[in-house]
Amino acid sequence: MTRLRHSFALLAAAIILTAAAAPAPSQDPAPAPGQQKPAAAIKYICPPCGAQCHDRFYDAAGNCAVCGMALVESTTVPRVGVLVFDGVDLLAFTGPAGVFARSGRVFVSTVADTTDPVGSQEVITLTPSFSFDDAPEFQVLVLAGGGDIRGIAGDTYITRWVAKRVEAADHVLCVGLGSLILHATGALEGKAIPVPPFIASRAEQFIAGSTADTEQRMIDHGKIKLARDEAAAIELSLRILEEMTDGETAKRTAGETGFPFVPAAAREGRR
């Protein structure tokens, strides 16, 4: 019993020392009125580890204050941002989010106009990881459909933020009627959009200036990828994962999720 107590005491001491040695999370002061914001300094973050400790940034290298892992430069780990709103389609956003999260190579966060809780199809309620005001840069932006999608697409506060983030992102994935949000920014002008028949029959009302395509399940416009349904969205997520990381990561993730994956080289060979 004495040895057991001694072991617990040593373990507790080690945890305390690790937390004490960890650098404090970054809290950059806002610039004074009239002053320019200083150039961004290098920030550090905990790499993907399965714990909920990836939304805090550090000013110096060291160890995570939560899990103890060695910190890495924040720019070395890609970030995926999933736009959520009240009524967002559950499978449309969790499908791609699950693929990226399962890979263990990227950070996945939800983002909304505020951090107030939002509901998804009256099944779950979630609190967004970030609001528009404090969201970090995202290398991948995911736009799902659901809820009052026309109202969301018509909200200029949302579409202006989306337009700005689309410009900065490396990849944009639209799932289902999430393409209406991107269309509202003008990014799909003149482009084909995979849509269900009821949208195609009202193309001038919903996607004026774009072409409605009811035949293809997915359309790859390079940086912008459009999925008509959730299964297509998962396949496109694997393609993006391959481009961001490597073929082995995408293949492993596909195997773990049970979805087929065709590497880029094989897809090129089919053409």
Range of the domain at 121: 78-257
DSSP string for 169-235 = -SEEEEEGGGHHHHHHTTTTTT-EEE--HHHHTTHHHHSTTSEEESS-SEEEETTEEEESSHHHHHH
Which 3 state secondary structure label does DSSP give 76?
helix
Instruction: Give the closest residue to 82 by CA, choosing from 128, 150, 46.
Output: 128
- Answer with the one of 74, 97, 122 that is the final residue of a domain: 74
pLDDT value at 233 more than 50 = yes
Q: 198: which 2 tokens?
A: 């009821």
pLDDT band of residue 55 (cuts 50, 70, 90) is low
Q: What is the pLDDT of residue 122?
A: 79
Instruction: Give the closest residue to 263 by CA, choosing from 242, 244, 249, 233.
Output: 242
Half-sphere exposure of 141 (CA within 13 A, CB side): 27
69 and 92 assigned to the same domain: no
Q: What is the pLDDT of residue 67?
A: 84
Please state whether the predicted TM-score (pTM) of the whole model is above 0.75: yes
Q: What is the pLDDT of residues 239-267, one digit of tens each?
A: 999 999 888 999 999 999 888 888 887 77
49 and 175 assigned to the same domain: no
| Structural domain count, the chain | 2
Q: Is 192:213 a contact under the CB 8 Å cutoff?
A: yes
Does 180 reside within a domain? yes
Q: Is 47:105 a contact under the CB 8 Å cutoff?
A: no
Q: What number is the average pLDDT over the span 165-188?
A: 97
Does 169 reside within a domain? yes
- Answer with the one of 22, 53, 74 that is the final residue of a domain: 74
The CA dihedral of 265, 92, 167, 204, to the nearest 10 degrees, is 100
Does 266 reside within a domain? no
CATH number of the domain enclosing 189: 3.40.50.880
Q: What is the pLDDT of residue 268?
A: 67
- Answer with the one of 55, 74, 93 that is the final residue of a domain: 74
Q: What is the pLDDT of residues 100-140, one digit of tens each?
A: 999 988 989 999 999 999 999 878 999 999 999 999 999 99
100 and 173 assigned to the same domain: yes
Q: What is the pLDDT of residues 3-49, one digit of tens each?
A: 434 433 333 333 233 333 344 544 444 444 444 444 457 888 877 77
Separation CA 224–CA 39 (nearest Å): 30
Q: What is the pLDDT of residues 59-88, one digit of tens each?
A: 888 888 888 888 888 778 889 999 999 999
66 and 103 assigned to the same domain: no
111 and 220 assigned to the same domain: yes
